[in-house]
Amino acid sequence: AQSVSQHNHHVILSEAASLELGCNYSYGGTVNLFWYVQYPGQHLQLLLKYFSGDPLVKGIKGFEAEFIKSKFSFNLRKPSVQWSDTAEYFCAVILDSGGGADGLTFGKGTHLIIQP
Amino acid sequence: NAGVTQTPKFQVLKTGQSMTLQCAQDMNHEYMSWYRQDPGMGLRLIHYSVGAGITDQGEVPNGYNVSRSTTEDFPLRLLSAAPSQTSVYFCASTWGTSGAHNEQFFGPGTRLTVL
């Protein structure tokens, strides 16, 4: 069965530090990849997505992610975090050829806390 | 556009009670889905629909029913609530008949507690 693994469940950083959140997936086919963010008390919002093409994708708020097919990874990065980046981050994967049956498979999330 | 809306925001039920969580979208999306979010578990797909009159099961469908009589609405019914259904429920929608090829838009969620 497909699965998504996020390595860090809780991350605490100081403002201006660099961020990298790991995401690995286990899927038997071509996949589309997403990072969603959930700010405290809010709903999920899309940070960025990868369907095809350049494996380095840029999203909103200075975030980027790199798809490395050989490593089944889609790590999220930001060179300098801000206090407002405090949130829960979810990596999600879906089969490119899949219908709705698969839906998005989410990782368990990473709770990021940025200290002023 | 209001996007994806959900009601209620909070609900407390007793074991065995039934209720319906409402979800509506005004973006003319064909694909709609329900997820539940539990601590340390991420989100898991309950049911989905690829258009009016068409629904199907996701990863964790037991204890839930859905229907899709219109493009806009996709209610989730709990027939006999159980404490294991205590969770935060999110509705999502997107263009097309597959959730694979577009960003999914999520509603604000319903926090359900079953005593």
For residue range B19-57, what is the model confidence (pLDDT) as tens digits? Answer: 999 999 999 999 999 999 998 888 999 999 999 999 999
What does the pLDDT read at residue A100? 58
Average pLDDT over residues B48-71: 94
What does the pLDDT read at residue B15? 98
What residues of chain A lie within 8 A of the CB of B103, using their CB?
A: 34, 46, 49
Low-confidence residues of chain A: pLDDT under 50: none
What does the pLDDT read at residue B42? 85
CA distance A26 to A94: 11
What does the pLDDT read at residue B1? 74
Q: Which residue has the tokens 């999520």?
A: B106
Reported as a pLDDT band with limits 50, 70 and 90, residue B64 is: very high
A55-68 pLDDT, tens digit each? 999 999 999 999 99
> Which positions ≥6 away from B93 have C-beta within 8 Å?
B4, B25, B27, B29, B31, B32, B33, B74, B104, B105
Average pLDDT over residues B54-74: 95
What does the pLDDT read at residue A61? 95
What does the pLDDT read at residue B76? 98
What 3-state class would DSSP assign to B33? strand
Q: Which residue has the tokens 């981050």?
A: A89
Which residue does chain B place closest to A52, by CA atoms?
B101
What residues of chain A lie within 8 A of the CB of B106, using their CB?
A: 36, 43-45
Which residue does chain A place closest to B50, by CA atoms?
A100
Q: Are A27 and A2 spatial neighbours (Cβ–Cβ below 8 Å)? A: yes
What does the pLDDT read at residue A98? 58
